[in-house]
Structures are given as structure tokens and as C-alpha cells.
Chain A
Amino acid sequence: MADPKPRIKVPKTASKGEVVTIKTLISHPMESGQRKDSAGNVIPREIINKFTCEFNGQPVFGCDLDPAISANPYMEFTAKVEESGTFTFSWTDDLGKVITTEEKIEVS
């Protein structure tokens, strides 16, 4: 399976100083490490443990994720935009895999 393609919702345009809502959704099993397979063996933990969002290289929002978070994590947060630029989103999982995507916004 190819890397999951996250779905991102960022407004195309905004006015200077506006607070915009950003939504992200990514495909991931978020295996908690608490479950057993049919043979009774513990299924190893494999979750996205970290999420970051930067705007023009400056951190906007970030968080650690824990095993209780459901599969296909959805995140919604807000950011105040003062200039046009690019949001960079990145998800890091327990295997060290990093998935990164970008979204542009025009600020006038």
C-alpha cells in the first residue's frame, strides 16, 4: 500500500489577521498495543505519536498522540494568519515513518 494521502482543509484565501480553521484527516490503524491476535499474542503498538503544523517555517500547532486515540485520527485547530504562505503538516509514527504534506493560503 502506498503512503496514505492525508485530507486537509485550509481555506484558499483569508484576510490579514483572520483566525482560520484547519482540519486534517489521515489514514492510520493506530494499533494501541493493548490488543491480542487470534493466537493470543499481543499485537505490537503502532500509532502516530506526533503531529506538527508549521506556517512558513514557524510552529503553529503540535501535539503528542497517545494509544487511546482512534484509527484514522482527525484533528481540527485554528491559526491566525498575517501573511500569505504555506502550511506544512507532518505525522510521525512509531516506526519512525514521517508523512508530510503542504497547503497554501493567500492572505490579503
Chain B
Amino acid sequence: MTQCRPSHPKRLGAVAGALALIAAATTGSGADELEEYKRMLADPFANPGWLYADEGEALWNTPSGPKNATLEQCDLGLGAGVVEGAYAQLPRYFADVDRVMDVETRIAWCREELQGIPFAETAKSAFSKRGAKSQMEQLVVYVASKSEGMPITVPMTHEKEQEALALGEALFYRRSSVLDYSCSTCHSIDGARIRLQDLPNLTDHEGAASAMTSWPTYRVSHESVRTMQHRMWDCYWQMRMPDVAYGSDVTVALIAYMTKVAEGAEMASPGLKR
């Protein structure tokens, strides 16, 4: 290892690539450095997630797919064409498909209906990989950013919404697979962490609020925005369970349950995480 030092000391006037420099400077227990890191991350303007939101907005309004149409007429629950505030009121029941949808299944449905892009195609490219950005990640963070500062409001009164809530809660606590883990193994205790990652207690309003208001989030280690569907898929992988399908009833139910626990908290997406 060579010493990590700026090659041009006079350049220190800029916090250029602060995230990279901080990562290199972290040593020892990391508690103080972590606080410093979090302070630097707290500036919303420094969050590359907003670049993705800009890209998502351009995508939303650009004709695309076999039908060469835009997503402007997509009904996210507040009427066709209303994006403002829609994210904060999802998941919800949609009569036109007679099921509960989260933001991602709904946008994917709109892409199929309005633009003619099959759901399978959306699902295949839903998560960005190195060198291949995901349009879904951009669209989702754009929609989420349009609910900034709005309280999460999910009444969940419809019979199918009640069903999703009950299923989500049951899944949250259900231990299975080779590690005998459930979501609650990591996310039902206060003050738990994996390495230096604080784990929110999702059974508690505060904990669920901190998570649900900050996703979709920019993940520095992934160099990309990640969505709640990706978090579900990743958690299932970490629990060594079979892959959970993109937009499946399982993911929507879990998201419905966690969103309900977080109800009332104000949206602040894109967040910024390790």
C-alpha cells in the first residue's frame, strides 16, 4: 500500500470526489470517520441520485417502446398524468388490474400498456449492472423525488390491501431456508448492525420511517440508484433464500407492510447510502 496523499496539495480547495477520499481515509473503529462521512453525505445537492431523477424525468416524457408513446398518461393512483405525490401513496389497490401494486409494478404495467414494452423485458433489466444503467431505476427515483416532503399515506382499506398487509407481516417474521433467517432476524431489534451498517428496526415506526422515506436511494458502493424492489431481492439473497421475482406478490406485500409501519413520515428520496 502506498501512502494515500493528494498529489497536488494546492488542489485541496475542492471537495472533489469526497466520497472516494473518505473511503480511503477510514481506519480503526471507524465511528468518528463514519460520523464525518455521514455529515458529508447529508448535503442533498451532493447526491448523484438527483442526476438519476433528472434522467428519469427525461425518460418519462420521451416516446419509447413499440408503441412509441410516453409515460405521461400513466395513472400512479392519483389519476392519469399525476406524478406529484403519487409515490407517497403507494402501494395501493388498482381496480383496473384488480390487485395491489407498488410503484415499480405499476410503472412496469404502464410501460406495457402505454409503450408496449413487455413486463418480462422490464423485469430483466430492472436492476442496473456495470456499464448498463437501468431505465426503471431512473424512472422510479424520478417518481419518488416528486413526493419529496410529502407524508406517506397508505390507508389500506380495500380487502386486497388488507390481504397484502397480512401477507407482508407474516412473511416478515417467517423464518426459512438454509440459514433459518427471516427479515425480522435483522430488522426487529434496536441498535443492531452488520459490520458498520446500522440496521433499522422495521417493526418500529421510527425505524421503518428512516428506511421507507429514503428509498429509492443512491448507493455509493453500487455506483447507482437502487430501488425497494432491489432491496427485497438483495435481502432475499442475503438470507440465502430462492431468488424473489421482480414485482412479485411477495415483494409488494412486504413493501406494503413496511410502508404501513412508516405511515406519516415524510418522503426524502433520493437518499444516499453506502
Chain A interface residues (CB < 8 Å from chain B):
1-2, 4-5, 7, 9, 23, 25-27, 29, 37, 51, 61, 63-66, 68-78
Number of A-B residue pairs having CB atoms within 8 Å of each other in the complex: 75
Pair A27/B51 contact, Cβ less than 8 Å:
yes
Pair B13/A71 contact, Cβ less than 8 Å:
no
Residues of A within 8 A of B50 (CB): 7, 25
Residue of A nearest to B8 (CB): A64
Residues of B within 8 A of A27 (CB): 48, 51, 55
Residue of B nearest to A73 (CB): B17
Partner of A29, one of B16, B18, B131: B131
* Size category, B interface: 20 to 34
Pair B223/A23 contact, Cβ less than 8 Å:
no
Residues of B within 8 A of A72 (CB): 48, 51, 223
Pair A70/B17 contact, Cβ less than 8 Å:
yes
Residues of B within 8 A of A75 (CB): 14-16
Is B220 interfacial (CB 8 A cutoff)? yes
Asked, given contacts A27-B51, A27-B55, whether A68 binds B13 with beta carbons under 8 Å apart, the answer is: no
- CB<8 Å pairs between A and B, sample of 24: A7-B45, A7-B50, A7-B54, A26-B51, A29-B131, A29-B223, A37-B130, A61-B14, A63-B8, A63-B14, A63-B16, A65-B17, A68-B20, A68-B24, A70-B17, A70-B23, A72-B223, A73-B16, A74-B16, A74-B48, A76-B14, A76-B15, A76-B46, A77-B13
